[in-house]
Structure 1
Amino acid sequence: METAAEPVRGRAAPLPPDERRAAILLAVRPVLLQRGAAATSRELAEAAGVAEGTLFRVFTDKVTLVREAVLAAVDPADSVPELATIDRDLPLRDRVVAVLAQGLARVDESMRWMGLLHELSRLEPGPPAEHREAAMRMWGTRQQAGTAAVNATIAWLLEPDADRLRLPLDEVIDLLTTVLMGATMRSVDARRRGLDSSPPDPERLADLVLHGVLSDGTEGDVRC
């Protein structure tokens, strides 16, 4: 009696180069945040689930890998998928609180990443001046595009209540960003000076944006 042949099990099809590169950059983030520039090539390869040889067929060396991982992690566009999960059916205040909470966490993590980049620059010489200038132009373009994507997502989240706001959406988003960065830098400055400082409260910041600091009963103008 003939039996059906067992299916041939081979290796999964390899990812296209760009997808493999992005997957590695994402996979090494936890170990880099934990170990910083001291992370070894072996630890990075294990985190990515590949052999060291494979790692360095994708990236020329460890410094290049770490630098690219940092730049990918601080790309504003990286936060868009999480922002897009906020429910647009939530009350306006809840949406603003969620945006600010994610923003505070994002800024805090980005500062850790930039600290790693500074640590790396002390250990390894940077690229030649002409390459550095080109890299800075590319960085600026990437940051601008990422910021535009973030702002578009926030506008999409707030749009259902646009007619209830005194300011245009783009000005509201600028205000949110200003409050977010100001609160973050205040906490950073306090830590640098060794002062006790409570972390920024996204609920208080949301109330500040929506209602200001007056106590003349105008709070009811923005029904949340």
Structure 2
Amino acid sequence: METTIGPGRGRATPLPPDERRAAILLAVRPVILARGAAVTSRELAEAAGVAEGTLFRVFTDKVTLVREAVLAAVDPADAIPEIAAIDRTLPLRDKLLLLMTQAQAHVSESMRWMSLLHEVGRLEPAGPTGEQREAAMRQWGRRQQAGTAAVTVAVSELLDLDAHQLRLPLADVIELFNTVLLGATIRTVDASRRGLDTGPPAPEQLVDLILHGVLTPISSDRSS
């Protein structure tokens, strides 16, 4: 049985089942994103660097593989390496700009993946496969919750040096950041549904809203 995952084929040390499963799900992402629900089993096997028979000893069928790849792709924890790569010594605004830019890109990609999930859902038959899908969705919900918590920890570590500058507790600032990001995302989605290509707000605009609000600063002369 072939065990190599990725473009190179040949014999390799067999991966533990969980690692092999995760490696396949990661390897097939590009072809699924490019081909959508029309992707073939052969294309998936080629992307993973395994034989089709090997692929379906790990996953029940093509639809199950595609669905699980999509659910893995929208795991919030995927963002943690990018967050960890941000220089903690940068000024607060610069760090928030990098965070917002990363978050907007992640949300945009997640939206593409979720649209693929709807495509895949239309291909799934009723019966046991439907029950398996519901179980997978419950597992995905738990993964989302754990991933979101892990991202919050990573952001807290990034901004910890700046906590003394903040009027609100750091946890509240992170929640505010997420609220602004979510609001901007909903606005963009709503505009798209109405045929308006407005695009997302600029990261600078959102970060300045978080840091400074919308009021014009009052000078000391005017306040006296």
- If the length of structure 1 is used for normalisation, what is the TM-score? 0.87
1:56-90 deviation per Cα after TM superposition (whole angstroms, max 9, x unaligned): 11111101101110111111112111211111111
Q: Is the 8 A contact 2:101 2:203 kept in 1?
A: yes
Residue 137 of structure 1 deviates from its aligned partner by 3.2
Residue 202 of structure 1 deviates from its aligned partner by 1.0
Matches within 5 A, 1:60-209: 60-125=60-125, 128=128, 131=132, 133-209=134-210
Structure 1 counterpart SS, 2:147:
helix
Q: What 5-or-longer segments of structure 2 have no aligned partner?
A: 1-9, 220-224
Partner of 2:215: 214
Residue 130 of structure 1 deviates from its aligned partner by 5.4
1:210 maps to amino acid: L
1:159-182 deviation per Cα after TM superposition (whole angstroms, max 9, x unaligned): 000011011111111101011111
Partner of 2:27: 27
Q: Is the 8 A contact 2:97 2:207 kept in 1?
A: yes
Distance in 2, Cα, partners of 1:22 & 1:94: 34
Identity, % of aligned positions: 72
Structure 2 counterpart SS, 1:12:
coil
Partner of 1:221: none
More deviation, 13-22/25-34: 13-22
2:103 maps to amino acid: G
Distance in 1, Cα, partners of 2:161 & 2:122: 48
Q: Is the 8 A contact 2:37 2:120 kept in 1?
A: yes
Aligned length: 209
Distance 1:75 1:206, change over 3 A: same
Distance in 1, Cα, partners of 2:86 & 2:68: 29
CA root-mean-square deviation: 1.8
Runs of 4 or more consecutive aligned structure 1 residues displaced over 6 Å after TM superposition? none
Distance in 1, Cα, partners of 2:85 & 2:31: 26
1:181-223 deviation per Cα after TM superposition (whole angstroms, max 9, x unaligned): 11111111111111130332111111111111111248xxxxx
- If the length of structure 2 is used for normalisation, what is the TM-score? 0.87
Structure 1 counterpart SS, 2:54:
helix
Distance 1:20 1:131, change over 3 A: closer
1:6-49 deviation per Cα after TM superposition (whole angstroms, max 9, x unaligned): xxxx9331222111111110111111111100000111111111
Residue 132 of structure 1 deviates from its aligned partner by 5.1
Per chain length, whose mean CA-contact separation is higher, i.e. which structure has more relative contact order (CA < 8 Å, sep 6+)? 1
More deviation, 170-179/12-21: 12-21
Distance 1:124 1:192, change over 3 A: same
1:119-164 deviation per Cα after TM superposition (whole angstroms, max 9, x unaligned): 1111222564755554443222211111000111011111000011
The structure with the larger Rg is 1
Partner of 1:3: none
